[in-house]
Structure 1
């Protein structure tokens, strides 16, 4: 009989790519994971994966088994959802990840709503970039992950379901005394000779903007790269640099007289989704968090979400 725990380890390996990463995610030792996977291969008398440098590649048989196991895990989700639905009070532990601009805007409002409506539900939040959030949801380290369409789900798409949340536009941000401040809109080419504050460590965001800059005919002179958006804004406040940031995150400075935010033409936007393991939305606690996220989206962003 197939061992469900060993199937789960193979599923994790298909997502995370290395035995060491699986061991860390499952709080096991590397030898223990290797031993369990070897036992699975012995039981099936089939080679399921092969080492390729520091990572591993699933064999065709391994990929087929992971695909069928995903159906099994979805059935387990259904069973758990049915049992949870019998409890009239929504409770338990839910793990949620989101990238910076959503973690600082939509997510706090959703958490406040959940605390009021479902006080027995405990939600833990972790800030993860979209690519990492996808992996965390696919490997079930997270119950829900807020992600965007700037990153491809690739092979993970078969393990996940996606719920549209909203659309977010990017806007130029300059100091209030900048020569372009107050304009109704600008083209990126008008900022070609500026110095820039851009978070280069947020790879998908930076690559997306870099492609837009190249299409506008220039490469930005980046003089500041900060993970913290507040630090980026402080650099812009001084007038030493300009930036392009998501509109949702810019609500925090909407009444700050030191800044001017300017719509970009043509429009730069991204669609935002909630990714979760297939079948997980049928669990009442997960559905409650999903509903709270949808309710927390500002109307102007939600209108174009579908």
Structure 2
């Protein structure tokens, strides 16, 4: 196998026209240059230089290898530049997993901001609801995932680090004309005897509802399982029951329902960013997390303003 470093020495000799001049240019001794050329000729199995007066000129093989050395040198320089851009977060690719209700309010504004700050970084977005994206994060198939966990969950599964973005409170969804529709806020226990329309898949989101109901002293009686916020509103509007839907899931309101705050306790789900524990530091990834935090901050401000 040809030695790239020796090929670059050959290129310097060809460019300078003599061993002595190449040695001065490279900071080597003439003897070291001659030894490198001799070793390269042994590897190539052919003479690379011939003497002409006090200088040298390349043979056909010497010209060939010198040209390839120049190409390799340019490619190495390009690779170093590309690597520097990647380390600085100017280029690269990030794979993101997210769930539906985080899309419009968190992911969309975060990605828009991120693209303005990191235009050279490609972001692959994949909706995984209701699948668990944490295995993708743990095994390196995704760089980041948005997940719902209990509000007091400070840890995560082995190999995954969680960073809390925001708490998403649930709101009561009632049909217009319901006996409680005239109240601005409800105690959760007031819904204990109502038929309920399910709005969540089994998992952390549904657990947030059930845990709050348990604190209030009851277990909801589900008469419809919709597992979809828009569909749940339709069942509520038809008078089939009441429902709890997180604030981020109330992007489009059915005209025949009313939304009320819930207290004592207020059901909440916590939204986290999940990243691989052993992932190397990536400026682009940290930049995307910062953009998600800003989107979460603005979303929380909107919540306060609308309450």
Q: Which residue of 2 aligns with 1:101?
A: 101
1:300 shift after superposition:
5.8
Paired residue secondary structure (2:236): helix
Paired residue secondary structure (1:162): strand
**Could you list the per-position Cα deviations for residues 248-288 of structure 1 after superposition, in whole angstroms to 9, with x for gaps in the alignment?**
222443xx653321111122223322110125472122122
Q: 1:86 and 1:297 mapped to 2: Cα distance?
A: 27
Are positions 1:195 and 2:175 aligned together?
Answer: no
Q: Which residue of 2 aligns with 1:236?
A: 236
Paired residue secondary structure (1:264): strand
Deviating above 4 A after TM superposition, structure 1's stretches of 4 or more consecutive aligned residues are: 82-89, 151-156
Q: How does 1:1-306 map to 2 (within 5 A)?
A: 83=83, 90-128=90-128, 132-150=132-150, 157-253=157-253, 257-266=255-264, 267-278=266-277, 280=279, 282-299=281-298, 301=300
Contact 1:175 1:258 (C-alpha < 8 Å) held by counterparts: yes
Q: 1:175 and 1:158 mapped to 2: Cα distance?
A: 44
**How many equivalent residue pairs?**
221
Contact 1:280 1:286 (C-alpha < 8 Å) held by counterparts: no
Structure 1 residues 86, 250: CA separation in 2 closer, same or farther (over 3 Å shift)? closer
Unaligned runs of 5+ residues in structure 2 are 1-81
Contact 1:159 1:277 (C-alpha < 8 Å) held by counterparts: yes
Q: 2:84 and 2:165 mapped to 1: Cα distance?
A: 25
Q: 1:121 and 1:202 mapped to 2: Cα distance?
A: 35
1:192 shift after superposition:
1.9
Q: 1:219 and 1:132 mapped to 2: Cα distance?
A: 26
Structure 1 residues 134, 269: CA separation in 2 closer, same or farther (over 3 Å shift)? same
1:242 shift after superposition:
1.3
Higher relative contact order (CA 8 A, sep 6+): 1
Structure 1 residues 245, 238: CA separation in 2 closer, same or farther (over 3 Å shift)? same
Paired residue secondary structure (1:179): coil
Larger Rg: 2
Contact 1:200 1:206 (C-alpha < 8 Å) held by counterparts: yes
1:221 shift after superposition:
2.4
Contact 1:129 1:202 (C-alpha < 8 Å) held by counterparts: no
Q: 1:177 and 1:200 mapped to 2: Cα distance?
A: 25
Structure 1 residues 296, 154: CA separation in 2 closer, same or farther (over 3 Å shift)? closer
Contact 2:208 2:269 (C-alpha < 8 Å) held by counterparts: no
Paired residue secondary structure (2:250): helix
Q: 1:300 and 1:283 mapped to 2: Cα distance?
A: 26
Structure 2-normalised TM-score? 0.61
Unaligned runs of 5+ residues in structure 1 are 1-81
1:161 shift after superposition:
2.3
Q: 1:146 and 1:84 mapped to 2: Cα distance?
A: 29
